[in-house]
Structure 1
Amino acid sequence: MHPVNTEAADTLSTAPAPSKPNTLQDVFGESGVLAAAFSGYQPRAGQLQMAEIIRDAITDSRTVVIEAGTGVGKTFGYLAPILLAGRKAIVSTGTKHLQDQIFSRDLPQIKKLMSSTTRTALLKGRSNYLCLHRLERAMTEGRLKSPDWVTALHTIKGWSTRTRDGDIARCDAVSEEHGIWPLVTSTNENCLGKECPVFDECFVVKAREAAHEADLVVINHHLFCADIAIRQSGFAQLLPEADVVVLDEAHQLPEIASLFFGSALSSGQMIDLLRDIVREQQAEAVDMADLLGVVHQFELAIDPCVSALKNARTDRIAWQELREDKTIQAAFDTLETRLA
């Protein structure tokens, strides 16, 4: 008989459930809660070994690195010792997809099996939450790219009255990849903070408050790195203090970290800024019509920069080589001139 994947199994056992587990054997053993819950379950030595290493690391406040092969059952392997320890914990994933899967499926399942009362929360970056203020602004401005955007905006408006957390991943009728979302979500640059007229209803604020009150918070590596960057600035922090931090899919962390601990500027950020400038000019400074001309000149200068970079030989290019490429340099010289 092959081991059962307890993180995806849907064949429940009819055996009586044991009492609330106190040890890892009570969870993963032949008479444990997993065996009682899933018919055909067989203990996996690798999963138990992983859980024991994590248990000991939590007890001794040590750092461990674990490589778990396919079929080990790593998610339960680290969630079980965390729940048994009863310590404040953060679980960080490489992707939002895995983050949602753990919070919506794996964590509720193992909590139920272990009769755990651990308070849990899901926390993402601010761009993953609907901004009610920017939604209302978008509804009244009437400057949208296409009829499809109009339809999407009205769909989001309807969803905004039903959602409890504002997580755009839960708006099934509008893809997360749709271009409308930057108009109705916020960034650090355009968020009004406590000056916002709907601050008390802010989904970002509510999500962060829930995270600080929770015992176990599920985040992603982008948010983890963003929190470190903000702490280093000395201004604030995004995440609560924790006794235990698990970095799932840790092999993705170096590339994500490079985004936060280096300098970056994308064409998308510039275009979003220009769009916000136009919106504010039309709403607050109609007498500054010349500003639209500056925006237009800036827009014209962005495309050559993007095209020049796309023609580079690879996705990554050394800074010195970038400076020596005459086409790229000319495009950015033009952009700098337009900004002057």
Structure 2
Amino acid sequence: MSPIDDILGEGGELEQRIAGFRVRSQQLEMAHAVDDALKSAGTLVCEAGTGTGKTFAYLVPALLSGLKVIISTGTKNLQDQLFNRDLPRIRDSLGQSVSAALLKGRANYLCLHRMDSAEFDRRAASPKTMELLAQVREWGRKTRRGDIAELTMIPENAPIWPLVTSTIDNCLGQACPDYSKCFLVEARRNAQEADVVIINHHLLCADFSLKDEGFGELLPMADAFIIDEAHQLPAVANNFFGTSVSARQLQELCRDILTIYSQMKMKQSEVQEVANALDKSVRDFRLLLGLDERRGAWEELAADSHHLKALEQLHEKLADVIEVLEALKGTDESLDACCERAGQLSRHLDLITSDEDADSNVRWFETTRLGFRLAQTPLEIAEAFQKQMQSHANAWIFTSATLAVGGDFSHFCSQLGIKE
């Protein structure tokens, strides 16, 4: 018998050690297929219906392989379940000394620098938000991981979180005065050292798209990737391989500039003026798009001269911000970072509003209750995704309860460019 059978088969380790575990022939079949793919550095696409026990079917061979494995799931909840429940049960049952790390997106970690300056943000003016900020600060002095999920008494959608967490736009990186104490940096360091790293699809695709822009990899190099809930991956990847500009990005830029301005010793009134003008332009453009929440084709927006004029004015106000901040370069690192963000948003707006590459991309817009998003996404991501798979040259396992259409994997494979 193989090690897989010794663990998952009749009378195996898991049947003896885990109460309620029962042997499933489909689970064994999948585990052997995963094991073969890991050993051959091949690609496996595997549908495992509800009740198969696919999590154990890929965890067992992954832990036995001795490889560095990245497991990507569909949601943060699944990440937590894998890391806190499933993986420890398998590891303990096998007596394996495999190290594991949980890595989430940066918005899930407390940013000490932003927490210290949060009181200067105009969004923190309400007594309720200040009360929440006090709770966050008290927890921030004690936490070891900085994972905001630890603060269960504060809802996930509470308005305090954007004030005390960072985004790729507003993170100062190594220029941050709190870089040596950064929880995100520590989480990435742990991921670099771990044998098994559990992430989600958004982080996987963010890593791919950022690497293409020359920012380097967020994730450690791995020998194998296991993609659970793989049916969700094409839609997530499509967004990350595209370009978008949102009202939220623009307004957060304005708020961050004004927060920095409020702390500046030498006030430059032009900074406040251009930030407020851009913020007003963003709100005016949102009102012009109507009250309904909807998604529409770019042609619908472009057919209205009022929309185009308002968008042009928004772009001009963004250019004014860049001009003022560039004149102040070197006076404040946070302000310099805002200048870089403004420049990137301007370049993205240029891409979206340009008629170039119309044959290979689709442009669209959407409105939410208070915001909007302008986007350009590729018609196909197969070539871009294959480029990522080939650059890693590792084993790839894609699994889900729903991958095939009529017993055929062609549709899923064609979306990601999988040929074998």
Q: For 1:66, what is the secondary structure of its paired residue?
A: strand
**Where do residues 92-241 of structure 1 align in structure 2 (5 Å cutoff)?**
92-139=72-119, 144-241=124-221
Whether the aligned pair in 1 keeps the contact of 2:14 and 2:93 (CA below 8 Å) is: yes
Alignment-mate amino acid for residue 143 of structure 2: T
Q: TM-score, normalised by structure 2?
A: 0.71
Please give the alpha-carbon distance, in whole angstroms, between the structure 2 residues aligned to 1:256 and 1:327.
32
Q: 1:22: Cα distance to partner? A: 6.9
Bigger fraction of residues in strand:
2
Q: TM-score, normalised by structure 1?
A: 0.87
Residue of structure 1 aligned with 2:301, choices 278, 300, 322: 322
Please give the alpha-carbon distance, in whole angstroms, between the structure 2 residues aligned to 1:283 and 1:40.
60
The 1:65–1:309 alpha-carbon spacing in structure 2 relative to 1, beyond 3 Å, is farther
Q: 1:333: Cα distance to partner? A: 3.6
Q: 1:326: Cα distance to partner? A: 4.7
Please give the alpha-carbon distance, in whole angstroms, between the structure 2 residues aligned to 1:141 and 1:250.
39
Please give the alpha-carbon distance, in whole angstroms, between the structure 2 residues aligned to 1:119 and 1:134.
31
Q: For 2:244, what is the secondary structure of its paired residue?
A: coil
Q: 1:81: Cα distance to partner? A: 0.6
Please give the alpha-carbon distance, in whole angstroms, between the structure 1 residues aligned to 2:232 and 2:304.
31
Cα deviation digits, residues 47-101 of structure 1 (max 9, x gap): 1111111001111111011111111111111111101111110001111111111
Residue of structure 1 aligned with 2:65, choices 85, 107, 113: 85
Please give the alpha-carbon distance, in whole angstroms, between the structure 2 residues aligned to 1:310 and 1:49.
54
**Where do residues 302-321 of structure 1 align in structure 2 (5 Å cutoff)?**
302-309=282-289, 314-315=294-295, 317-321=296-300
Q: For 2:101, what is the secondary structure of its paired residue?
A: strand
Whether the aligned pair in 2 keeps the contact of 1:127 and 1:185 (CA below 8 Å) is: yes
Alignment-mate amino acid for residue 283 of structure 2: D
Moved more, 248-257 or 329-338: 329-338
Please give the alpha-carbon distance, in whole angstroms, between the structure 1 residues aligned to 2:316 and 2:175.
35
Q: Is 1:250 paired with 2:227?
A: no
The 1:212–1:313 alpha-carbon spacing in structure 2 relative to 1, beyond 3 Å, is closer
Q: 1:173: Cα distance to partner? A: 1.9
Cα deviation digits, residues 260-299 of structure 1 (max 9, x gap): 2111111111111111010111112653224323333322
Report the identity percentage. 44
Cα deviation digits, residues 191-223 of structure 1 (max 9, x gap): 222232222111011011100001110011111
Q: 2:25 aligns to what?
A: 45
Whether the aligned pair in 2 keeps the contact of 1:93 and 1:249 (CA below 8 Å) is: yes
The 1:109–1:334 alpha-carbon spacing in structure 2 relative to 1, beyond 3 Å, is same
Alignment-mate amino acid for residue 32 of structure 1: G
Please give the alpha-carbon distance, in whole angstroms, between the structure 2 residues aligned to 1:273 and 1:109.
44
Please give the alpha-carbon distance, in whole angstroms, between the structure 2 residues aligned to 1:260 and 1:309.
25
Whether the aligned pair in 2 keeps the contact of 1:22 and 1:84 (CA below 8 Å) is: no
Cα deviation digits, residues 220-244 of structure 1 (max 9, x gap): 1111111112222334111111111
Q: For 1:65, what is the secondary structure of its paired residue?
A: strand
Residue of structure 1 aligned with 2:245, choices 247, 251, 265: 265
- Asked which structure has the greater RCO (Cα within 8 Å, sep 6+), the reply is 2
Q: 1:332 aligns to what?
A: 311
The 1:136–1:311 alpha-carbon spacing in structure 2 relative to 1, beyond 3 Å, is closer
Alignment-mate amino acid for residue 36 of structure 1: Q
Point out where structure 2 has 5 or more consecutive residues left out of the alignment.
320-420
Please give the alpha-carbon distance, in whole angstroms, between the structure 1 residues aligned to 2:290 and 2:16.
56
Whether the aligned pair in 2 keeps the contact of 1:156 and 1:174 (CA below 8 Å) is: no
Point out where structure 1 has 5 or more consecutive residues left out of the alignment.
1-20
Q: How many residues align?
A: 319
Please give the alpha-carbon distance, in whole angstroms, between the structure 2 residues aligned to 1:73 and 1:287.
62
Whether the aligned pair in 2 keeps the contact of 1:229 and 1:260 (CA below 8 Å) is: yes
What do you get for the CA RMSD once the two structures are aligned?
2.2
Q: 1:29 aligns to what?
A: 9
